[in-house]
Structure 1
Amino acid sequence: MPDPARPSLTPSTDIALAFDQLAVGYGERTILRDIDMQVRRGQVVAVMGGSGSGKTTLLRAATGQLPPQAGRVVVLGEDLSRLSADGLFALRKRMGVLFQQGALFTDLDVFENVAFPLREHTSMSEAEILERVLAKLDAVGLKAAAFLRTSEISGGMARRVALARAVVMEPELILYDEPFAGLDPISMGVTAQLIRDTSDRLGCASVLITHDVQESFSIADRVYLLGRGTIVAGGTPAELSASEDPFVHQFLKGEPDGPVAFHYPETPAYQAWLARQRGAR
């Protein structure tokens, strides 16, 4: 019998991404467990947590790079575990991803980097590609940099080019891995508003994997906080800001003392590794 306290995963055109009792990790090592989350079209959802809390692992599960150890990942109505390689490839065309390192092609100029997905996955004419790419570059303030090589732009500018490329296909679901990293304060605010405006205009779902509390809280509809291998808190920015939970309070305030540990926890896998290292000496 279904648990009435848990969200239903009945197929819905409104739900772009859902994790249902997800456990995911690497090999036999589980990083996250009991993850229940739904992201609806038009929503901006921020996933936050300390370094090593599993944020990027969750993103990899959403793109099908990491299969579930338990539970399900449902993207745009498709259960990823039931898709063939071709089916997963087709689904990814409906998604946009801003990678943490930008992942720009160093042998292409700014324009061609942003145009690349359009050339690979659409039959748009050159005139249509030109106007679409220039519009996306204009949105991130870099239209006049279209002709520059990637080696000629700063790291912050490269992040904005990568953002333009992530949205150029106008996807239904966009995953942002640390979208504010390396940006100056002005670019950070502009980028945050661009993410919000893109979700509103396209009606797409946006998921931010981020450490940045201020900018994320200014645009997010919901925020989830990862810790201790699971979701420790979730709600609107206002609800989390008002939370008296020690874990939430320490993370949002950046306090050094509290339940969020600085040191990566010792695990049986570490102890086994250490024993092997000492035994070999």
Structure 2
Amino acid sequence: MTSVSPPDTILQFNDVSLGYGDFTVLSGISIQALKGQVVALMGGSGSGKTTLLRAATAQIVAQKGRVTAFGQDIAQLTGESLRQLRQRMGVLFQQGALFTDLNVFENVAFPLREHTRISEAQIQDRVLEKLDAVGLEAAAHLRISEISGGMARRVALARAIVLEPELILYDEPFAGLDPISLGITARLIRDLTDKLKCASVLITHDVKESFAIADQVYMVGQGKLIAEGTPAELSASTDPFVRQFLDAQPDGPIAFHYPVTPAYTKWLEQRSRRRS
């Protein structure tokens, strides 16, 4: 049965299965992100969180089900229509992906130069405005090698929002940050979501900071969606999957070992034949 989407739905997965080749990473995934919401997609390492991000940006196509962004079926888009859809998105990559040969200003200005025809004066105003929003206007002239890792993450955030996207996807936005930078980044994500009235989706395993700013949380594990709800609802949950993740318990339903797949079995058989 097809679910009915609220009119302000920005991103939706409807009974989606995702994977690579013959291997299915996640199945039966139904999630949505609404305008003005911060949504956290949580799970352990290898649980499929980044696979969800790749599906949202049309880097991979769903094996089953339907992924829609701005009311459009992503699988049906190609060429110019896909490019236009992606322009409505901002992505903050885990490593920042900044250009080390450009200074802070030019890194943030890059999407404007690539995707708009606004004047140089407008570019300067927009870039400085976004740098000010992340507290780094006075660092505009610095090279990437001259700023800290936390500052670089904020520069990448300014670049992700410079086109004022309707959907922002964050890939592990809190990874590797010191406690101060972590708190600053979390607050920025919440404030920017409220200011831009966009939907923000966090791919993360950081419980404390995500729960402080998220409106809705989805947890994935063992190849499926294992829980969903508000931070308060999940914090009160007695579900063993949820409790293992939130309480950082080493033993529980979520196994330590990566599951055996047909691709692994085939690889091992071929390797064994070559050795014999």
Q: Structure 1-normalised TM-score?
A: 0.94
Answer yes or no: is the 8 Å Cα contact 2:43–2:221 preserved in 1: yes
Query: What amino acid maps onto 1:171 in structure 2?
Result: P
Q: Greater CA deviation, 209-218 or 254-263?
A: 254-263
For the residues of structure 1 that align with 2:7 and 2:155, how far apart are their CA atoms? 30
Match of 1:51 among 29, 35, 45: 45
The answer to whether structure 1 residue 140 and structure 2 residue 130 are counterparts is no
Name the SS of the counterpart of 2:98 in structure 1.
coil
For the residues of structure 2 that align with 1:105 and 1:223, how far apart are their CA atoms? 32
Sequence identity, in percent? 68
Answer yes or no: is the 8 Å Cα contact 2:23–2:261 preserved in 1: no
The answer to whether structure 1 residue 24 and structure 2 residue 18 are counterparts is yes
Aligned position for 1:166: 160
Q: Structure 2-normalised TM-score?
A: 0.96
The answer to whether structure 1 residue 184 and structure 2 residue 178 are counterparts is yes
Match of 2:3 among 7, 12, 27: 7
> Which residues in structure 2 correspond to 1:209-248 (within 5 Å)?
209-248=203-242
Q: Deviations over 1:163-194 (max 9, x none)?
A: 11111111000000011112111111111111
Aligned position for 1:41: 35
Answer yes or no: is the 8 Å Cα contact 1:13–1:77 preserved in 2: no
Answer yes or no: is the 8 Å Cα contact 1:177–1:208 preserved in 2: yes
Q: Deviations over 1:21-48 (max 9, x none)?
A: 1111111211111111111100000000
Match of 1:268 among 234, 240, 262: 262
How many residues are paired up? Answer: 275
For the residues of structure 1 that align with 2:154 and 2:197, how far apart are their CA atoms? 21
Match of 1:109 among 103, 109, 112: 103
Quote how far apart the aligned CAs of 1:62 are: 0.2
For the residues of structure 1 that align with 2:227 and 2:43, how far apart are their CA atoms? 10
For the residues of structure 1 that align with 2:176 and 2:45, how far apart are their CA atoms? 17
Name the SS of the counterpart of 1:182 in structure 2.
coil
Aligned position for 2:67: 73
Q: Deviations over 1:47-94 (max 9, x none)?
A: 000000000000000000001111111001111111122100011111
For the residues of structure 2 that align with 1:222 and 1:7, how far apart are their CA atoms? 18
For the residues of structure 2 that align with 1:124 and 1:86, how far apart are their CA atoms? 20
Q: Deviations over 1:137-167 (max 9, x none)?
A: 1222222221111122222221111111111
For the residues of structure 2 that align with 1:85 and 1:29, how far apart are their CA atoms? 27
Aligned position for 2:199: 205
Name the SS of the counterpart of 1:45 in structure 2.
strand
Name the SS of the counterpart of 1:280 in structure 2.
helix
Answer yes or no: is the 8 Å Cα contact 1:22–1:72 preserved in 2: yes
Unpaired segments ≥5 residues, structure 1 = none
Answer yes or no: is the 8 Å Cα contact 2:166–2:199 preserved in 1: yes
Q: Deviations over 1:222-267 (max 9, x none)?
A: 0000001110000000000000001100101111111112221222
Answer yes or no: is the 8 Å Cα contact 1:46–1:210 preserved in 2: yes
> Which residues in structure 2 correspond to 1:91-110 (within 5 Å)?
91-110=85-104
For the residues of structure 1 that align with 2:147 and 2:103, how far apart are their CA atoms? 10
